[in-house]
Structure 1
Amino acid sequence: MIVGHGGVGTLLMCHLAGFEVARARDQPLGGCHWAWNTTDQELLHDWRRIDA
């Protein structure tokens, strides 16, 4: 688990997944997370609310 600010999380997610950095990739609201599979090196899911 890596915990950080949403902007940093967006940059990391974009880098790992090979996405172009764009505001459309920002977390929609505060309190969100995304998941990365370290074995397969793939994004499991984009931003989701923690409390959902």
Structure 2
Amino acid sequence: MFAPQERRVAKALLAGASARDVTQDMGRSLNTVRNQVASLYAKLGVNDRLSFAKRLK
């Protein structure tokens, strides 16, 4: 369902990392991470981090 990079972003978000934290850990730009987060949300049909976490747990 998720691309490998999206999985890494999803795990980081579930662990409480911010998008900026993810950029530092993965060496990606903030826009790239934001786009990946938006893609994750769209795939799950959610609009926020809380709904995202609930769908994955």
TM-score by length of 1: 0.34
Structure with more helix by fraction: 2
